[in-house]
Structure 1
Amino acid sequence: MRASLVLAAAGSAASVAHAQGSVTLYGIIDEGINYTSNVQTSAGHGHNLYSLSSGILSGSRWGLKGSEDLGGGMKAIFQLENGFDVNSGKLGQGNLEFGRQAYVGVSTPYGVVTLGRQYDPVVDYIHPLMPSAMFSGSIGAHPADLDNLNNANRVNNSVKYRSASYAGFSAEGLYSFGGVPGGMGQNQIYSLGAGYGRGPLTIGLGYLNARNPNASFFGTAVGATAATNNFGTSPVISGYASAQSEQIVAAGATYTIGAATIGGIYSNTKFKSLSGVVSALNATGASGTETFNSGEVSLQYQLTPALLLAAAYNYTDGSGANNARYQQGSLAADYILSKRTDFYVIGVMQHASGTDSTGRAARASLNGLTPSSSDQQTAIRFAIRHKF
């Protein structure tokens, strides 16, 4: 009997030794001072605003990620990531505890399968190539982040597969269950992406389709309901919340030549089958499809090992009943103090023209900021970022 117990204990110890794993705690704190011009007040007047704000170049966050070796080249993996506001301490992403990411899955030599709240393939392949991800921050994203290339919306209830990399090529697919009894296709989201990265060249391609995006894509935060306008307050897109579907097609690339990196981004975003009825989701009663084409070029130059200078220009053209157009320029500098800490400064200016989603003369509306009282708006930010 005693020998059996010893053998069982030895077998258990061997099993524990084989199942090696690790858990990592990590995070970023991004905090700075903002100047924003022409901020519209409740009285309709425009005033300049000085404020502290958190998470502009990198969303302030902390997270846990880990893996366990299952043998045969397989690993169990997980990631839980929380976003927060440094100034108030409140949770980000609609007051969700792990609003940035929350998933578990299995990694194999042939690819990775994960389940939970995740980034879609368009974000995975194209967001890293965006100037807003590299140097201009969320205020330098395309107006209202209408194409989600700055990762404003995550995808709930999703299953994602990413292939292994073959000679620099990889691909990804995601499906989000709508969760509506008797209507498998209602509120569903599906997305595909592919990319190539080798040497100086990186390329990303992506496609996303969201059914009833006001609930399925924009409404993935605490307190959001299908009856409320979850598109936010930006006049760029707030009038299109009644769309029965949203479609995003996007591509991006960067190429490095010595100390310089040039980049280009293109996206086509369609809000389809608008209700045609005036409501909280459709202020003007728009019908049919509203389309935005957005193009952006960028240049980065590593002046010294510690100092990066960068610039970008974006043109977003709306077509349909509301034909708003937005021109936007960004300048940035990033100075690295140490392996984990840097200072940066960002300046972004936007000019709007045409008619926006609310049926009014288009107002400038830098992403994430209070819209302007006029067709122009400027934001300047000086900040410190620390990674741990």
Structure 2
Amino acid sequence: MGKILNKSLCTFMVFGAAAAAGTAQAQSSVTIYGVVDAGIVAVNKQKTSSGGTGSVFALSSGGVSPSIFGFKGSEDLGGGLKANFDLEGHFFSNSGAGNQWGGLFGRQANVGLSNSYGTVTLGKQYSPAVLAFAATDPRGLKETFSGLISWALTQNPLNAGTAIAPANSNAVIDVFVANAISLSTKIADVNLSGSYSLGEVAGNNSANSVIALGATYTGPVTLSAAYQSDRGQPAGLIGGSGIQTRKYSVGAAYSIGDATLTANYLNNKNSDPASGSSLAQYRVYGAGLNYRTSPSNTATLAYYYSTNKIGVSDTSRTWILSDDYALSKRTTLYALVSGVNAGNGYTSGAAFGVANDNAFLASAGKTTTAVQLGIKHSF
């Protein structure tokens, strides 16, 4: 522990010394990047305006990846020190609509410094916890029909038929954290990262704050651990009386030739910040097999089991069979078939649905199936 602390102190000392010396004479670069992902999805047993259920056939945005655009860059400040920035926005490829997750750059808007010891970043960014969780999710946290749905929707589940106000304005679907200060470093084969989002509530500095921690080990096996805590906002504020959310996960992945086995566990607990009473506690178990049938093709079989015993009893069992075929390094065709057997609760933990649109989700008390075909192009 002493070595780690000394290393972190050295990092901040180097950052401070370089800034004071004003040694900014070196090369800088800016990269424009993005993804356009669109597909056709057919899902049965979806709610209709008349209150029943029916099938829906739609063009959806983001089957494998979200459709995004961004600008990122760095400047070499000398002595191994770099300045970095990242601006990233989100849009729907099916309609062209944008400004999701908080505006033009609703995914990322940050600046920071890095050297061989690590990186310090200020601004809106990906939660270190969700990045660690992604390392061992059976579907790699793809944008549809994956652990991403469970991670996001358990942040603010329905309880006793009543929608609960957003828990925390800094934690956007528990994937992006705003007003955040983060530190990341690598020690041997272990990546460690953590962030703290300032609550910015007068008189109560802990309210509306977010703590996110992530750790991954990459060696003969891949191991991951994640923790995130969203503090609720006091009554009287916009979004006040929102729930407090705590989630943690652990997982592992192991490769044998062209096959990779994955397993992870997510525990998400929601409580009332005023009384401290539990509102829901989702436990989601995931397992999967990824198999490279050729250098350009990967097939995936994944299974998720979700349960909640507090408030509204809720269970779901989701299976996904998918195939990704790379036409090139930047263009991928994908196909998917999925089914979910949902209990009579609100199925917030089900890994079934289209994350971009927050639509075509599991229907309580139904066995729902989906078929999806699409294309993803990166630039």
Deviation at 1:354, TM superposition (A): 4.2
Q: Is 1:301 the counterpart of 2:291 in the alignment?
A: yes
Q: Deviations over 1:84-110 (max 9, x none)?
A: 111221114246101111110000221
Distance 1:311 1:57 in 2: 15
Q: Secondary structure in 1 aligned to 2:132?
A: helix
- Corresponding residue number in structure 2 for 1:8: none
Cα distance between partner residues in 2 of 1:56 and 1:152: 20
- Superposed counterparts of 1:51-130, under 5 Å: 51-94=58-101, 96-130=103-137
Do 1:54 and 1:60's aligned partners in 2 also have CA atoms closer than 8 Å? yes
Q: Closer, same or farther in 2 for the Cα pair 1:146/1:379, shift >3 Å? A: same
**What's the TM-score, normalizing by structure 2?**
0.81
Shift of 1:253: 1.8
| Amino acid corresponding to residue 187 of structure 1 in structure 2 | N
The structure having more radius of gyration, on CA atoms, is 1
Match of 1:279 in 2: none
Question: Which residue in 2 is equivalent to 1:380?
Answer: 371
Residues 183-332 of structure 1 mapped to structure 2, 5 A cutoff: 183-198=204-219, 200-212=220-232, 225-226=238-239, 242-243=242-243, 245-273=244-272, 288-332=278-322
- Identify if the C-alpha distance between structure 1 residues 364 and 115 changes in structure 2 by more than 3 Å, giving closer, same or farther: closer
Mapped to 1, the partners of 2:351 and 2:224 lie a distance apart of 29
Q: Deviations over 1:115-139 (max 9, x none)?
A: 00111121121223323436x5423
Tell me how far apart the structure 2 counterparts of residues 144 and 17 of structure 1 sit (CA, whole Å): 41
Name the structure 1 match of 2:145.
Answer: 139
What is the alpha-carbon distance in structure 2 between the residues aligned to residue 355 and residue 257 of structure 1? 38
TM-score, normalization by structure 1? 0.79
Tell whether the 8 Å contact from 1:249 to 1:267 is kept in structure 2 after alignment: yes
Aligned equivalents of 2:269, 2:333: Cα separation in 1: 37
Among 11, 15, 28, the residue aligned to 1:21: 28
Contact 2:343 2:364 in 1 (8 A): no
**Letter paired with 1:384:** I
Name the structure 1 match of 2:8: none
Q: C-alpha distance in 1, partners of 2:111/2:328? A: 33
Distance 2:80 2:216 in 1: 24
Matched, 1:44 2:51: yes
SS of 2:133's equivalent? helix
Q: Percent identity?
A: 34
8 Å CA contact 1:140–1:348 kept in 2: the answer is: no
1:175 aligns with 2:165: no
Tell me the equivalent position of 1:235.
none
Query: In structure 2, what is the Cα distance between the partners aligned to 1:213 and 1:332?
Result: 40
SS at match of 1:85: coil
Q: Structure 1 residue 377: deviation in Å?
A: 1.5
In structure 1, C-alpha distance between the alignment counterparts of 2:195 and 2:351, rounded to whole Å: 34
Change (3 A) 1:364 1:59: closer
1:339 is matched with: 329
CA contact (8 A) 1:25 1:63 kept: yes
Contact 1:186 1:212 in 2 (8 A): yes
- Residues 364 and 17 (structure 1 numbering): CA distance in 2 closer, same or farther, change over 3 Å? closer
Aligned to 1:133, what secondary structure does the other structure show?
coil
Letter of the 1:300 partner, please give it. N
Report the counterpart of residue 4 of structure 1 in structure 2: none
Q: Partners of 2:233 and 2:39 in 1: how far apart?
A: 32
Q: 1:315 to 1:88 in 2, by over 3 A?
A: same
Matching residue of 1:219: none
Contact 1:38 1:377 in 2 (8 A): yes
Determine if the alignment matches structure 1 residue 33 to structure 2 residue 40.
Answer: yes
Q: CA distance change for structure 1 residues 329 and 92 in 2, over 3 Å: closer, same or farther?
A: farther
**The residue matched to 2:294 in structure 1 has which SS?**
coil
* Residue 33 of structure 1, CA deviation: 0.5
* Partner AA of 2:341 in structure 1: H
Give the drift of 1:340: 1.0
Q: Give the aligned partner of residue 282 of structure 1.
A: none
Aligned partner of 1:11 in structure 2 is none
> What is the CA RMSD across the aligned residues, in angstroms?
2.9
Distance in 2 (alpha carbons) for counterparts of 1:324 and 1:318: 5
1:166 pairs, out of 187, 190, 196, with 187
Aligned residue type for 1:98: F
Is 1:156 the counterpart of 2:178? The answer is yes
Indicate the SS of the match to 1:123.
Answer: helix
Deviation at 1:334, TM superposition (A): 0.7
Tell me how many residue pairs correspond in the alignment. 336
C-alpha separation in 2, matches of 1:195 and 1:50: 39
Q: Is the 8 A contact 1:30 1:385 kept in 2?
A: yes
Q: CA-to-partner distance for each residue in 1:186-245, whole Å, 9 max, x for gaps?
A: 1111122211113x4221111111011799xxxxxxxx9416xxxxxxxxxxxxx842x1
**Residues 1:144 and 1:354: Cα distance change in structure 2 (over 3 Å):** farther
Structure-2 separation of matches of 1:336 and 1:225 = 46
* CA distance 1:17–1:194, change in 2 (3 Å): closer
Aligned pairs for 1:365-376 (under 5 A) are 366=353, 368-371=358-361, 372=363, 374-376=365-367
* Aligned position for 1:234: none
Q: 1:153–1:363: structure 2 CA closer, same or farther, 3 Å change rule?
A: closer
Q: Structure 2 regions of 5+ residues with no counterpart?
A: 1-21, 156-171
Q: How far apart, in 1, do the equivalents of 2:351 and 2:121 lie?
A: 39
